[in-house]
């Protein structure tokens, strides 16, 4: 039985939904799971956890600077424990970009940081055009048009492979 911390950064809320699904997978193993936003992570005693998982979404090709800073500030503690990182991005909807080794955003992120997570995952995110402000709706529709994704401004589509999320949760349970 481990005390597991999941720290997340989300733009539109989907990364916290994924974090909660991972928690649902971990708890039947007897693990205690705490989920905390990166905005509140500075108040958490990382040393009191047995395992640490970090999840972050991307917007316009980048993960949150707060996640980068958190990792930089806590790299030594992260390295001292079983750990994992997952990225949430819509480009992962494409099978050829749905794995850590083939996802360009995750690979770019890993080159940007010096921390080397012990386990990695990438999950396809969600498009929710009606929730976006006009600028984000326009930009994301443009990106989707370029990448041959959905562009209808009324579209709400979740690309997440929940089996993949649950498999990652089991991996964390056993690490």
For residues 111, 121, 81, 115, the Cα torsion angle rounded to the nearest 10 degrees is 0
Structure tokens at 102: 């083939």
For 48, phi and psi rounded to 5 degrees? -85, 0
* Contact (Cβ atoms closer than 8 angstroms) between residue 169 and residue 110: no
Q: pTM of this prediction?
A: 0.93
pLDDT 10s digits, 44-70: 999 999 999 999 999 888 899 999 999
Ordered by where they begin, the domains of the chain are: 3-125+160-174 (3.40.50.360), 127-159 (no CATH)
Q: What percent of the chain is helix, strand and coil (3-state, nearest 5)? A: 45, 25, 30
- Rounded mean pLDDT for each run of 10 residues along the chain, 175 residues in total: 96 95 97 96 95 94 92 96 96 93 94 95 95 93 90 94 97 95
């Amino acid at each position: 039985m481990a005390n597991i911390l999941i720290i997340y950064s989300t733009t539109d809320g989907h990364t916290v939904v994924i974090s909660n699904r991972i928690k649902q997978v971990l708890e039947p193993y007897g693990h205690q799971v705490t989920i905390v936003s990166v905005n509140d992570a500075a108040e958490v005693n990382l040393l009191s956890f047995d395992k640490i998982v970090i999840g972050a979404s991307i917007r316009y090709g980048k993960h949150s600077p707060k996640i980068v800073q958190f990792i930089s500030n806590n790299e030594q503690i992260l390295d001292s424990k079983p750990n994992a990182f997952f990225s949430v991005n819509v480009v992962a909807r494409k099978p050829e970009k749905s794995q850590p080794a083939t996802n360009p955003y995750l690979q770019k992120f890993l080159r940007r940081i010096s921390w080397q997570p012990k386990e990695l995952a990438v999950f396809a995110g969600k498009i929710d055009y009606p929730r976006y402000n006009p600028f984000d709706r326009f930009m994301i529709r443009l990106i989707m048009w370029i990448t041959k994704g959905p562009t209808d401004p009324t579209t709400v589509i979740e690309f997440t492979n929940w089996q993949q999320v649950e498999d990652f949760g089991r991996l964390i349970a056993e690490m």
